[in-house]
Amino acid sequence: MPLLGKYRFSFDTWKRLEVEEDFLEESEEIEDPYVELKDWRPLQGKECNHINVAFVDGVRRTEHLIYIEDEEGNFSEGVFVSVGAGGILMKHGRLNSMNHSIKGMSIKRFLVLKKGFNIGESLLRFELEGTAIEFSVDFAEGELSPFVNELMSRMESMVAENLYRSHKPELMITDGTVHYSAKLKSLPFVGYVKKHRRRYVPSEETWIFRELKLGERTPLIRLHSQPTMEGGGATTFDKFTWYVRISEDEGISGIARLEVSAGIGLNRAKELADMSTYIVPKFASTEFTDRRAPHNLLPIKHLENALRKALGSQTLIRRVITKELLTNPQAP
């Protein structure tokens, strides 16, 4: 078997690491469902035309899965993965071109191994037609998939922070749950959560899902959260969350959940909730344009397409990794 550092390794040519998003939804409990209103009712979004709206998202792609083996015959998985993050800055109500709207696109590549399998290198560099592809070596304490998601989440947070500080959009929407770095830096990012894995509305108030009309939201709910993502950061993370009807689809299928760090304060959270309730439904996709309709917002869809294109050819990258490691083993 060929060597990667001091370890023997082999490629898994048929299996691809499935990077799951489930862990990104944190373990949360309802702390106060009446923090905004004691008597619940649907709330209308606030009209806010011609504001600057930013969307931030990330993508990740498995390039190659490998097995490495130590001298005692212990096996472990490793993964070559490419991760991208970027933002789109738009003026609502105006014509926006993709070339001028995309901001802060960043592409990074990693070889993620389990801790204890140190190959003696911090960076693997592969030559490719006059250029080079570099994979930073990193180590996961637990499963590889959550660790890769955390790498992507950190990149998204960095892109979002840079975009916010440089352009100061009135509304900043990040795809997925709000990263705990938003709390640590008191940043007013609105997390947009597409899937409903838990319900954060008390049983006695679920009637509101049937009553919400397009462009209306629930009152704010205060959540107490325990981050489950790998890495450092906050041990607790209180949030305000609310539900918005983004399409005429029946039931919960036409509703999305949004959230912000409670650290920005109740009044600021209400402002962002009102703006997002007006803006987000205008960008909801349809089945004609996106199989993930209505929850996959159109700016997010176009941003994801641009990021995946920027990752480069997966076939070519896999071929280069295979050729280089089999003909030029990486030794410490």
pLDDT in tens, 282-318: 998 887 777 777 888 999 999 999 999 999 999 999 9
pLDDT in tens, 181-212: 777 678 999 999 988 888 899 999 999 999 99
pTM of the model: 0.88
Alpha-carbon gap, residue 232 to 71, rounded angstroms:
32
Q: Is residue 128 part of a domain?
A: yes
Q: Which of 309, 281, 278 is nearest to 295 (CA)?
A: 281
List, in sequence order, every residue forming a beta bridge with 111; answer none if it has no partner. Answer: 80, 137
What is the average per-residue pLDDT within 133-143? 94
The angle formed by the CA atoms of residues 95, 96 and 100, to the nearest 5 degrees, is 150
The reported pLDDT for the residue numbered 221 is: 97
Q: Is residue 177 part of a domain?
A: yes
Q: Is residue 155 part of a domain?
A: yes
Determine the structural domain holding residue 22 and report its residue range: 3-327
Q: Is residue 132 part of a domain?
A: yes
Strand pairing category for 171-175 and 43-44 = unpaired
List, in sequence order, every residue forming a beta bridge with 107; answer none if it has no partner. Answer: 84
pLDDT tier, 73 (very low <50, low <70, confident <90, very high otherwise): confident
DSSP type of residue 330: B
For the chain, what percent of residues have pLDDT higher than 70?
A: 89
pLDDT in tens, 10-33: 887 655 545 444 433 444 688 999
Alpha-carbon gap, residue 233 to 205, rounded angstroms:
33
The reported pLDDT for the residue numbered 193 is: 92
The angle formed by the CA atoms of residues 102, 314 and 310, to the nearest 5 degrees, is 10
**What is the secondary structure of 127-164 as a DSSP string?**
EETTEEEEEEEEEESS-HHHHHHHHHHHHHHHHHHHHH
The domain total for the chain is 1
* Residue for token pair 């049983």: 203
Q: Is residue 332 part of a domain?
A: no
Q: Is residue 281 part of a domain?
A: yes
The reported pLDDT for the residue numbered 18 is: 53
Q: Is residue 83 part of a domain?
A: yes
